[in-house]
Chain A
């Protein structure tokens, strides 16, 4: 029997598994697929808008939670979020930089300016500063990165701390494969090769003018985390990556690195099968079963952390009658009908449906309608937790990491 089973391999699941494994526990991680990290920007958001743009997320967190009863940050608090950000930075020393106290303001693939707390070092030079001038370099075969659009929007953007920047665009052609459309991932794999990235960097260098900071698509190497440094050295100007729509290379870097560390720490990965059931004895879950090839397989453990994501992953769903459900175990949710929670004005006010999820106590135990734990050893973390409007708050990563740390630390304290 394992000490703990974690369900889900997104940021919440991996952080929980790693925290437990580092605490000396034997952990199995069950997941249907590789989780949402590789669909992300590869950064760690804590709080970006509340609803105005946030510059100091941990300072803002207390007031924000007080104004949003039922928000996960109310249970977690700034200290746990700080602790979780520190844990991730410690796990990924060659990837993540930044100070969770202060947001970076980074250009996106449409030239908007996005607040985030921790970013990859290869993105940091993009932190918008008054008076800076940028050249955005696109690739003719990479359709997900339109340099004109990005530069045009940055050029008219207001720097969050005040002031303005100037930006221009160039597009070059650096083929890495004999095809017209090359994905960002194909580019990233090619740029893991030092000779290919030298060719790429020299082509970029030719386009850069004195004093410019160089914005490049987020494709500077997949497994070689130092690839961007090589490019910067050859270009001889500060360079920064802008993450693209999926497949997102910076997100893939986080996923691949965190899973590799977890494997090294002895976490058993059981990927590809959906969890279908749990077996309960008294107030405890004793095992969960998965729909593996040929038959259901049962996995017993002392503690269970459920981190399957929210609506985006299919962990929460609304059927054609408007009934909202948690699709794996049918856990109690904050709302059961979507009818009054969705309105037809797509660009209008927030759709409250996205705040629906499971309720938890301070140790992340899942609660029923009477606020009693559903089971004494059953926790939830990440996108499943009720109360947050993650996409507009830019709070999803902070909630995921902090709830993972809280659940794991509770389990470690309780022991076996």
Chain B
């Protein structure tokens, strides 16, 4: 792959136009300045560099007559909390994402942001040389150089490279023998789930197979979420469109399950609402995709989840619901699902955000902010259980683990144990 080709200048040519039409006028006039978004924003709570979602969003937008007026929008982490909490239905986060993309279009996207938003590229480069890659990323002087040259903070969490990809495991494993009583479903692992969080993907697949599903795992690429948050809208659109075709290729009208909390949200609504992708195919996938715990809790509510088979796990774990999971407007299903495991006490973090917001907390100029955002969560995790924490999204787990030293797993890991599969 020609890396320079991949890094060629990409911005969001139509962001300005879309700001002026579709989103802005449709929702910004509903803003009644109630400040509920301001009270919920995790970033403006810890730094004056971001003046808050209402100021840069519905208010700033009125002054953007074709050009950017408020550069503090770059400090928005795109966690989506403002849109989630807005009782008037204003798309605050979407407005701010577009305004930032527009600003980046005017000023260019740093090479750093182009690099860190390409998880698949990192995965393909790191997997063959996993031990070396991990050693380099764990080597302080190398990280100092990386901070100076690229702009990725020396203490920011980095994924751990694995020697085997998920596709590699699928090819080599012994096919499951559990009876297929419930028909086929599609598994969407996301790029991190394919290269770095391979254990999460394996365990999710095994839990689904244990429940009687035939799990189809088509070859699949990245959803483009990280590119989108970095203003690389054209690449993001290309990524998500390719992924949509790959997932649909596995079979018509199949339910798609993902253990990647944020990427699920990209397919469900962000690609449509932020990137402006209007394809029927995307809408079809959006209606069929389910986050792992969302799917299983629905089964439980319908009386189709084998609660009796769950073995006790006697422990107390902190659980953090990532912002991009909460922004899907379906509650926090993992917390309710895990509470079905006998003996397991689940303590909700009640924290808005861990700070990382995809790639935000990796950047040297935002690292300290991201750490301050996550601090109440880190304190809560350490106070609840020093051995284990639970969270649905990859980069959030890396952030929690790096900042607390507490191993952090996907809810599927606990279900896998409770079903006696590990």
Contacts and interface: CB of A to CB of B under 8 A. Distances in A.
Interface of A: 1-2, 28, 31-35, 38-39, 177-179, 183, 185-186, 189, 246-247, 252, 260, 263, 268-274, 290-295, 297, 300, 313-314
A270 B330 contact: yes
Interface residues of B, number: 33
A186 B328 CA distance: 28
A295 B287 contact: yes
Interface stretch (B81-89, B308-316, B403-411): B81-89
A293 B327 contact: yes
Interface of B: 34-36, 38-40, 45, 48, 83-89, 265, 267-269, 286-287, 289, 301, 326-332, 336, 348, 350
Contacts of B350: 260, 263
A242 to B, nearest CB: 18
B329 A292 contact: yes
A32 B38 CA distance: 16
B87 A32 contact: yes
Contact of B301 (A1, A31, A273): A1
Given A33-B87, A35-B87, 17 more contacts: A33-B36, A34-B85, A38-B36, A178-B48, A179-B48, A185-B39, A246-B36, A269-B332, A272-B84, A272-B329, A274-B89, A290-B329, A293-B329, A294-B267, A295-B286, A300-B301, A314-B87
A246 B83 CA distance: 18
A263 B48 contact: no
Contact of A273 (B34, B40, B287, B330): B330
Contacts of B328: 272, 292-294
B89 A32 contact: yes
A177 B331 CA distance: 34
Given A179-B48, A294-B286, A33 B85 contact: yes
A270 B329 contact: yes
Contacts of A177: 48
B38 A183 contact: yes
A297 B331 CA distance: 11
Contacts of A247: 35-36, 38-39
A39 B331 contact: no
Given A260-B350, A268-B336, A270-B329, A246 B35 contact: yes
In the complex, the 7 A-B pairs of residues with the closest C-beta atoms, listed nearest first: A33-B87, A294-B268, A273-B329, A294-B286, A270-B331, A272-B329, A293-B268
A34 B332 contact: no
A102 B326 CA distance: 42
A189 B331 CA distance: 26
Contacts of A268: 331, 336
A66 to B, nearest CB: 35
B87 A297 contact: no
18 contacts: A1-B301, A33-B87, A34-B85, A39-B34, A178-B48, A186-B45, A246-B35, A247-B36, A247-B39, A271-B84, A271-B85, A274-B89, A293-B265, A293-B328, A294-B269, A294-B286, A295-B268, A295-B287
B48 A34 contact: no
A252 B34 CA distance: 13
Given A183-B38, A269-B332, A272-B327, A293 B88 contact: no
Given A34-B85, A34-B87, A294 B289 contact: yes
A59 B36 CA distance: 36
A75 to B, nearest CB: 27
A34 B286 contact: no
B285 to A, nearest CB: 8
Contacts of B348: 263
